[in-house]
Chain A
């Protein structure tokens, strides 16, 4: 574990300062930081929309918002959380960590990196701006199903172009990641030595490139249906409203794994570190990730079992969906086997990672249940589904992101975060996320549809519990901001190694790392990863 940090301090350090450093940045760490800060802001914007939703659902009757605004909160909350919070957070981590993990000085395409970030604030200005124009924001659900979405008022073109911009940004980010990993690895960093986080991101990047253009096509067809008289999705004009759903979910299901795979990568970095033991079944992890990614293109119609597919179609998509449980199971088993006979400690990143394994698996279980077509006819579009995807995305993806921030924050800032506060943040988040989402399983099974602003009396009790959990979860996240700011401003100095059991190139650089990560490629040997 020698440190090669100080040697290269001053050679190429002609970096701009002030606002220019950020506006024109081509540095992977600065861009990574901007992505992460942006996603945190979006997490809170999307979160406050969730608070409005939970406040309205706190008790039966309509107290705070009218149904149209409620629908637009449901719609924009989803878009902001998916495209604004979770995806950019993943790209931010990739920017920060991939060059460092593979021994590169920077990303392969730094100028494009800058553009792919700076598109996003404009895209979200378009999207969030619609909330303040006459007629309000889009309110047809983030899935944008026609014909309903075509009833959107002035917000419609803003929605479409925001989605286009976000797609372009994602594709550029994905190209950059693939180019970096395939061209800039240090000598000795063979593909099967890549850290799992890098592997999952490469596979995610391919998913992005394959699926985002499909979404772009779908929303463009919506645009021409609305303004140029085409009838792609208009039955009266010879079109098919269900066609949109097929196209949308051909993007939408891989999108689920675009959110989840980087989380798998993060967890696969953290568990070995704190178990002080190599990741169990590295090769099978890589193959399982690739299998999940490939399968994700063959399961889209499980989101639309109730549209009236022919029975053979329903059977195909049921079998394919259930099959995903196999590689996902392999991953969970591998994580548990990594812990087995390790010497574990339980710092905040590990706590979040352990909670991830349990709670993501619970989300996977309800996913398997949802995959069984005849029963899905009952579950579909109820709160059971809402509970399912929040287990996978909040206690899954978001928990993994929280884990990653605690894991790498000392590396990024050079300071240790406040472990005691971080543990409090963990327990509050875990307890209240479950109070928030577990009762929603019951609500769905008892018959409460999703996306309704008001409900029948028999759903009152669990909705109140869920709302209380929601408020408490929301407030707990303020603690996270405090911990991060406190750590950025100061704290106990972090060593280069940071965590006793951490392995990999990122821990050979100083904390924080030098401006141009590896100016001389390090030599990677098998011993680097050994315990």
Chain B
């Protein structure tokens, strides 16, 4: 069904697409079909788009000229028309000309490109600084001056729909694979410095509407900037292969007016504080399990899988695994979540005591693991101190 509908839709527009093959009308292209680069919402992204179109026009014109000569030759200089082949084999004049003209074209393209690059490079006078850190497979955002740290995971409905043969139509998920549980909120009209780095492997932070992408490299901090002109939600995703979850770490930027941004900052600070304080509360098994399931989905499922079986030889199973079932190893279980082991990242920094308590409880009481163990936030807090 899906195939037929899409094919019909495609075929009905086939002629449109192919008449636009050489990008004769950029506006048409941009509007309907997602054929062309976005013009984006920043001054830089607009310039990048213009530079892209300039070079596209240049190569298109060169292509039309060269291929016209070639096809003229193919149609007229063929043996079946009875022509006798000419004997010439070189011409210094012509050869010098067609060396110099391309050189001139390249210089003409390089000048605006150099100017644009210099502007993109200048991160001075920025008013807000955000550090984006890539993790396998999520983004962490630190608002440097505000003491706000957020973790941004793939949204839960996308997680569900993206499981192999999930039976869920991706169309039913909100912005499938391009939606997160937490957005990066930024004010419009301010120069924002975005630093990128990573904690494990190389990632790349990319929102097409901002006009650039930049690698996030462990041990290094890259510097970029943007000024968003228009309120809205802008989506992107990791652009550097970073393992199994590479396709599943989207980026969502929510650009809001400055006032709204300032209110959001206050609100978020309060929310983060109350989350920290709630660590000494006792929770019931059901509360822990339902919270744990959400934490598992966002953090653990990519490797250990929905059924807890992992992937043989790569990611160990949790279902039936001694560390998740033997009572004497509860502390070790908590420790491994906090500090990581081998390829498993340390979650101690990104998850609260309550989150870790919930996910460990969940892992010990789901699938075939029926230990009945309940881990409370204070147990995790105690474990951190050791």
Contact = CB atoms under 8 A, between A and B. Distances in A.
Contacts of A308: 214-215, 217, 220, 222-223
A342 interface: yes
Interface string A458-469: 111110110000
Contact of B215 (A306, A342, A461): A306
Interface string B48-78: 1001100110011011001101100110011
Q: What band does the interface of chain A fall in when counting residues whose beta carbon is under 8 Å from B?
A: 35 or more
Interface string A411-449: 000000000000000000000000000100010011101
Contacts of A447: 34, 38, 208, 236
A378 B37 contact: yes
Determine which residue in A67, A368, A382 has the highest number of CB atoms from chain B within 10 A of its CB, and name it.
Answer: A67
Contacts of B211: 377-378
A210 interface: no
Contacts of A456: 175-178
B98 A330 contact: yes
B381 interface: no
Interface stretch (B157-165, B263-271, B364-372): B157-165
A442 B90 contact: no
Contacts of B246: 67, 71, 449, 451-452
B163 A62 contact: yes
Contacts of A217: none
A61 B78 CA distance: 51
Given A308-B222, A318-B113, A464-B3, A141 B74 contact: no
Majority secondary structure, A binding face: helix
B94 A361 contact: no
Contacts of B201: 145, 147-148, 151
A239 to B, nearest CB: 8
A458 B220 CA distance: 34
Contacts of B284: none
Interface residues of B, number: 107
B202 interface: yes
A198 B225 CA distance: 51
A16 interface: no
A452 B204 CA distance: 13
Given A326-B102, A354-B74, A368-B59, A276 B170 contact: no
A136 interface: yes
Contacts of B80: 345
Interface stretch (B125-133, B310-318, B328-336, B355-363): B310-318
B77 A343 contact: yes
B79 A276 contact: yes
Interface string A59-73: 111110111100100
B110 to A, nearest CB: 6
A340 B84 CA distance: 12
A154 interface: yes
Contacts of A361: 63, 66-67
A210 to B, nearest CB: 26
A325 interface: yes
A307 B313 contact: no
Contacts of A326: 99, 102-103, 106
Contact of B237 (A71, A314, A446, A449): A449
Interface in A282-313: 282-284, 306-308, 311
B84 to A, nearest CB: 6
Interface string B233-260: 0001111111111111000000000000
A60 B204 CA distance: 22
A375 B217 contact: no
A140 B165 CA distance: 24
Given A277-B85, A322-B106, A378-B37, A464 B241 contact: no
Interface stretch (A29-37, A46-54, A331-339): A331-339
B245 A67 contact: yes
Contact of A241 (B161, B178, B202): B202
B6 interface: yes
Contacts of B163: 62
Contact of B213 (A280, A306, A344, A372): A306
A358 B62 CA distance: 12
B213 to A, nearest CB: 6
Contact of B2 (A59, A354, A446, A454): A59
A378 B48 contact: yes
A531 interface: yes
Interface in B160-185: 161-166, 168-171, 175-178
A314 to B, nearest CB: 6
Contacts of B34: 442, 446-447, 458-459, 462
11 contacts: A60-B170, A66-B164, A71-B241, A135-B312, A153-B314, A241-B217, A311-B121, A318-B117, A345-B78, A365-B62, A368-B59
Given A277-B86, A329-B102, A362-B63, 17 more contacts: A66-B311, A67-B246, A135-B313, A153-B314, A235-B220, A241-B220, A280-B88, A306-B239, A308-B215, A308-B222, A318-B113, A344-B74, A375-B113, A377-B212, A442-B36, A446-B37, A457-B170
